[in-house]
Amino acid sequence: MSSSRIADAVARRRTFAIISHPDAGKTTLTEKLLLYGGAIHLAGSVKARRAARHATSDWMKLEQERGISITSSVLQFEYRDHKINLLDTPGHQDFSEDTYRTLVAADSAVMLLDNRKGIEEQTRKLFAVCHRRRTPIFVFVNKCDRAGEPPLKLLDDVETEFGLRCYPVTWPITDGGRLLGVYDRLTRQIHLFEKDTHHGSKQARTRQAELGSDEARQMLGGTAHDALVDDIELLDAAGADFDRDAVLAGELAPAFFGSALTNFGVEPFLNHFLQMAPPPGPRPSTEGMIDPLDESFTGFVFKIQANMDPKHRDRIAFLRVCSGRFESGLVVQNTRSGESIRLAQPQQFMAQERTHIDEAWPGDVVGLHDRGSLRIGDTLSENGPVHIEEMPRFSPEHFARITVRDPLRRKHLDKGLRQLSEEGAAQVFYATTHAGPEPLVGAVGRLQFDVLLHRLKNEYGVEARLENLPYGHARWVTGPRDEIDRLGGTAGRSLVFDSKNRPLLLFESEWTMRHTIERHPDLQFHDVAV
């Protein structure tokens, strides 16, 4: 295989995730990128026109009913000689753990801000994940068709709170609070948008002119044109020059303004993003850095989803290719289990729609049919054992005892809990009782419990009930086992075990947890399990 063929494939790839606080417009922006990328010809429903049809990436029935994104979707398409792997993540904070795992598979991230609200709590958490991994970040300020915070204040807040310098690549052009278009500082072109009757379902029509020209002044009107000239002069005088190296190092964030709902500003953002965002890069592993140009295939599983197709009750493992050429029928080794696996019937995705493929390259995401042998975090390698990524499990904040009304359905419950836990849909623990292990479920947010019950009923035929437990804090604990066992039987605490038999202490209050940690220096307490 020619190494130049791998290099060409890597240079074309862009694999990124979109992160945001709930209701910032993430699913809408995702669909508009698909629209401009030619992957769809008519954008799906957005909140203003929910009755038209459901959004492409929200394929689960429960997502459609509630109008929120629950699982990460993989959306793959080509645009202007680029192969794009767009990882659409849940916006709802109750499903943040799925987002964390997806960010591990991304080479860059688009941070979406609501221009009326700016930085919100979920934005902070997701930025912290990107910052720890030094993931390049792009900022898209959304909903600029509505009155909001001044653009400079929004960017100043990002710099102040995150320590991340911003370079506004596009700038909103407004007149009396009305969004007229955006100005591209790198091309010096004004993009004036024309309103239509498509309600954002088709690409926006634009007129372009160079700033300072008579045509631009005529297009915008004297007041809006002069205000834009003043803004750009201020930005040019106060801001630094654009530095792509700083972007790739995660030190500078290109910023864009627009409205995903009306499509204003989406196309300039997409074109610049593809030029600025990094292609797949090296990945650290137990055997040193893995170069994407290495001819030997490696990849890791970052997501598992069962029953994407209810008719076939299938189970798909999502694999991020890290190096070499993936091809159908390739035999690889699972580092965790030591088993050899033949990668047959690989697929790529447009949300729920699937396409069978024969090959894939670094940066691509491949769906593998799995009969239960793969786990989240597994590394698959063509040449011997190597371990790429650890997938952390975060300590839950809500716990419930789970039971089934019909004792004959207990085996179905156990199967459903095991598979959903392997997907990361919920965490399952076991308390020791006289009657044997008793299953408990833990979640980062309570909405996960609703999804769990919904999927148990619809996919496994299990009518389960939850009994909420009074614990709101938990830590995995290591150290002398007798001391751990004693703590588990004291007031305000409970001891359970995860699927790997690791002890987890549950606490009724933060005070009890902190007091316990202080009083037991021989034990180590962990909020993340790896």
Q: Each residue of 316-353: b (16+ CB within 10 Å) or e?
A: bbbbbbbbbbbebebebbbbbeeeebebeebbbbbbee
- At 382-430, the pLDDT tens digits run 987 888 877 767 778 899 999 998 888 999 999 999 888 877 777 899 9
Q: Do domains 16-73+84-276 and 298-381 have the same CATH topology?
A: no
pLDDT score recorded for residue 49: 38
CATH superfamily of 393-529: Peptide chain release factor 3, domain III (3.30.70.3280)
Q: Which CATH number fits domain 298-381: 2.40.30.10, 2.60.40.420, 3.20.20.70, 3.40.309.10?
A: 2.40.30.10
Q: Is 456 exposed, middle or buried (0-12, 13-18, 19+ CB in 10 A)?
A: buried
pLDDT at 44 over 70: no
- At 51-108, the pLDDT tens digits run 344 454 443 554 555 544 444 467 888 888 899 999 876 654 544 567 777 888 999 9
The answer to whether residues 144 and 265 touch, using CB atoms and an 8 Å cutoff, is: yes
- Amino acid letter for position 342: R
The tokens of 147 are what? 């009155």
pLDDT score recorded for residue 90: 60
**Mean pLDDT, rounded, for 108-132:** 84
Q: Where are the domains of the chain?
A: 16-73+84-276, 298-381, 393-529
pLDDT at 357 over 80: yes
Is pTM beyond 0.85? Reply is: no
Closest by alpha carbon to 481, among 426, 524, 514, 441?
Answer: 524
Could you give the CA distance from residue 182 to residue 172 in angstroms, rounded to a whole number? 5
- Amino acid letter for position 221: G
- At 174-213, the pLDDT tens digits run 887 788 899 999 999 999 987 765 656 677 778 888 888 8
pLDDT score recorded for residue 46: 36
Structural class in CATH, domain 16-73+84-276: alpha beta
Please state, for a pLDDT cut of 70, what percent of the chain lies above it: 86
Could you give the CA distance from residue 444 to residue 306 in angstroms, rounded to a whole number? 20
